[in-house]
Structure 1
Amino acid sequence: MTEYSHVEMIAFTGSRVLEDETIVFVGTGLPIVSAVHAQYTHAPGLLMIYEAGSLAPILDMGMPLSVGDTRAARRATFLKGLCGAFELTQRGYADYAFIGGAQIDMYGNVCSTLQGEEYGKPRVRFPGSGGAGAMAANCERTIAIMALEKRRFVKQLDFVTSIGFGDGSPDYREKAGVMGSGPYRVITNQALFGFDEETRRMKLLEVKPGVTPEDVQELVEFELIIPDDVKEMAEPTEEDLRLLREIDSEGYFLKRQFKK
């Protein structure tokens, strides 16, 4: 097995959870890498929406470095600007929202705004929602990616940027006036998570080879649901890694570093 980085594992797993003949609203960075890899492998009919307003571009001029990169408009079937992109989600034309974040709680609510108790004087100011807040509210299912660290998987968010299942009550999203079924997967370097249908709490689905469910729980502030049938995460093959590195040939996203 060829060696791979933690970031490459996230990108590969992101590709793996995407399905053929669906539409994914991608955020900048690893979601784009994952979606392109999925198109090249098991999901040739996967279509991408970019926040700047394009649907299903042909990426024959290289990988877009942001959702506003002009390469993301190349030969698109739909190109009507930012408002047009979000109108597509409101009309039900997005199966997945693929977003990042700085913090996530047990109900899949995501913070990408700040860290700290005071909004005006945060300890850390993050980039903010971008389009992630609207994507999580309107797309059918939300996929989030982040490193598996206790400071990220928290009991209480410092700020709710992108709505998940709220407080976990069955009708929370309906009362909040948002669409879609909510959080679907959380992808990390060491584990893949889903959500329990009844309680809406985060559930451990897969762990990286050599990692135990107990190891994962140690890196999460809240109590996970850990079923008896937790699986091993699939690892990228040499061909998968070749494709990933070809897609992001300059290493803009795949060469980023973070804690294990």
Structure 2
Amino acid sequence: MSFSPMELMICCAARELDDGKTVAVGTGLPCAAAMLAQRTHAPNLVIMFEAGGVAPQLPTMPVSVGDSTTFHRAVLATSMADVMQFCQRGMVDYTFLSGAQIDPFGNLNSTVIGPHAKPKVRLPGSGGANDLASFCWRTLIVMKHDAKKFVEKLDFLTTPGYLTGSGAREAAGLPLHTGPHRVITDLCVLDFVPDTKRMRVKSLHPGKTLDQVRAATGFALEACDPLGTTVEPNAEQLHILRTEVDPGRYILGRAG
């Protein structure tokens, strides 16, 4: 079956979510991935929304984190403060983030492009991203692969990845065994070298090449050996995505 880059990215993200775990999501691709995971291999996945919905049974794709559907048949309807507290207590296994820039160690910038005192572009800032990336066990980063986004040095460090490399998170006081887990783009899936915590290519999406990925990256990029090929979405996943998760094509209608 044919599929779009967006559908492939959603399926990649869904496969990272294990049954019986907890995931803090926003709307868009992260929510679609969590809904798909629940409807396939992870029926006991607990979804949390920043606005306070915990373990809802989502009937449709919510349009915001405060949409009433994020509280539909939920176990708990609480507040942002409580969801962040759950995160700080180590109760959240996964979160999804993105940003305007990412560096080789998975640090993110969502604050400014250019000098902080006089930026070219002022962005929304951290929101809850810093808390989530600091304390959730595994951070999944989803973004378009572009050399302007994948940079050697951030214009501003909004959200910590592995900071300067192995041991740096722990030295800064962040919990052991937390940090970026995967980076999912429209070209490939990336992970981090265990010893150095530097980003590398784990698998190429069908039809993509390592040269394409490296040309779209603003820093030197290693690859796993052997280098994998990303598993394509299957017919069941695509059917669920198109008919149950996002029949209105709010997300699927976007480019990858």
Larger displacement relative to structure 2 (219-228 or 29-38): 219-228
Q: Which of residues 193, 205, 224 is equivalent to 2:190?
A: 193
Matches within 5 A, 1:100-115: 100-115=98-113
Check whether the contact 1:27–1:100 (CA below 8 A) recurs between aligned residues.
no
1:9 aligns with 2:8: yes
Secondary structure in 2 matching 1:256 = coil
Post-superposition, which runs of at least 4 consecutive aligned residues in structure 1 deviate over 3 A? none
Matching residue of 2:169? 173
Give distance in 2, aligned partners of 1:75 and 1:28: 18
Work out whether residues 100 and 110 of structure 2, in 8 Å CA contact, stay in contact via their aligned partners in 1. yes
User: Could you tell me which residue of structure 2 aligns to residue 54 of structure 1?
Assistant: 53
Task: Confirm or deny: 8 A CA contact 1:142 1:182 kept in the other structure.
Answer: yes
Number of residues of Structure 1 aligned to a counterpart in Structure 2: 254
In the alignment, the residues of structure 1 paired with residue 68 and residue 92 of structure 2 have an alpha-carbon distance, to the nearest angstrom, of 21
Distance 1:126 1:254, change over 3 A: farther
Q: What's 1:146 paired with?
A: 143
Q: Deviations over 1:101-154 (max 9, x none)?
A: 2211100001122211x2243222323222111110110111000011111111
2:22–2:94 CA contact under 8 A, matched in 1: yes
Counterpart-to-counterpart distance in 2, 1:213 and 1:168: 24
What SS is found at the alignment partner of 2:190?
strand
1:72 match: 70
- Return the alpha-carbon distance in structure 1 between the equivalents of residues 110 and 154 of structure 2: 10
Where does 1:198-237 land on structure 2 (aligned, <5 Å)? 198-237=195-234
Q: How many angstroms apart in 2 are the aligned matches of 1:160 and 1:253?
A: 28
SS in structure 1 at match of 2:34: helix
Which residue matches 2:129? 132
Paired AA for residue 177 in structure 1: G
Instruction: Please state whether the residue corresponding to 1:57 is helix, strand or coil.
Output: coil
- Please give the secondary structure, in 1, of the residue aligned with 2:95: strand
Q: Give the unaligned 5+ runs of structure 1.
A: none
Match for residue 39 of structure 2? 40
Task: Give the letter for the 2:222 counterpart.
Answer: I
Q: Deviations over 1:180-234 (max 9, x none)?
A: 5201000011100011111000011000122222221111111112122111001
Instruction: Measure, in 2, the Cα distance between the counterparts of 1:162 and 1:244.
Output: 30
TM-score by length of 2: 0.94
Identity %: 42
Partners in 1 of 2:206 and 2:170 — Cα distance?
38
Q: Which runs of 5+ in 2 are unaligned?
A: none
Segment of structure 1 superposing worse, 214-223 or 189-198: 214-223
TM-score computed with the length of structure 1 as normaliser: 0.92
**Conserved in 2, the CA contact under 8 Å of 1:98 and 1:143?**
yes
The question of whether the paired residues in 1 share the 8 Å contact of 2:110 and 2:124 is answered with yes
Counterparts of 2:58 and 2:144 in 1: how far apart (Å)? 28
